Amino acid sequence: MVFKVGHIVTPEVREKIRRGRLRRKAHLGYINSPETREKIGQAQRGRKLSPEHRRKIGQAQIGNKHRVGHHPTPETREKLSKASLGNQRAAGHKHSADTKKKMSEARMGHPVSIKSRNAASQRMLARWASPAFRQYMLAVRLRTRIPTKMTDIELALRHEFKKRRLKFEMHKTIFGRFQPDFVFEDVKLIVEADGDYWHRVHKRDHAPLYNAAASAEWTVWRFAESEIKQHPEACGRAVARFIRSH
């Protein structure tokens, strides 16, 4: 048999071939062997469709919505589940910035039903109810330094402490759950720079930190934002005197 490489079949011949294959069921239900599938896969590997071919495929699929709302039977679901066992091709895969942007734009304006929101909420509640998950999240939080950017009052105190050559660490995890602003471990001193908004307008509960520090015989000092801005040097001198006296 001689194959006509590069030969283009005319539309009339294509129509004859199409009509000749109508109602032809010779391969209906036929399953190729693994060897044949491998050969077909190797032959198709690396093949790129032309823009014209892609456009034709897209136009042919316009209006094809027969799968929308389709629910597989329990038997089909079981088959799909077994076929997917051990399939970890997407495990650990991270999307690129361009892909993330495209996915975000595709989801914009997509309404989420109340049923879906409630289901997602129930899933998260079930996860947080697990002691193992809570322990995992605690470990992740302790490895994270927050905030990533220092405030202006923290910068002012750091400048005063460094000017006096005091030894300290910032946002160090202590007592297994707290990350104070400044930790002077040699003298067991914790210094907090309290912003007026979060610590006066919206008062926070500092009792857990005070209780943990008292149990470990640590001292906790808190400087208000107004104190630091008006008298930064006085704050630095007070901490230096405490360290020298201990």
- Give domain status of residue 29, yes or no: no
Q: Find the domain containing 138 and state its range.
A: 117-146
Between the CA atoms of 148, 177, 173 and 243, what dihedral angle is there, to the nearest 10 degrees?
120
| Same domain? 138 vs 182 | no
| Same domain? 199 vs 180 | yes
Q: What domain count does the chain have? A: 2
pTM (predicted TM-score): 0.47
CA distances from 96 to 46, 100, 103 (A): 22, 6, 11
d(C-alpha 224, C-alpha 210), whole Å: 17
* pLDDT over 70 percentage in the chain: 89
Question: What is the mean pLDDT of the segment spanning 120-138?
Answer: 89
d(C-alpha 170, C-alpha 95), whole Å: 34
In three-state secondary structure terms, 208 is: helix
**243 vs 69, which has greater pLDDT?**
243
State the CB neighbour count (10 A cutoff) for residue 219.
Answer: 14
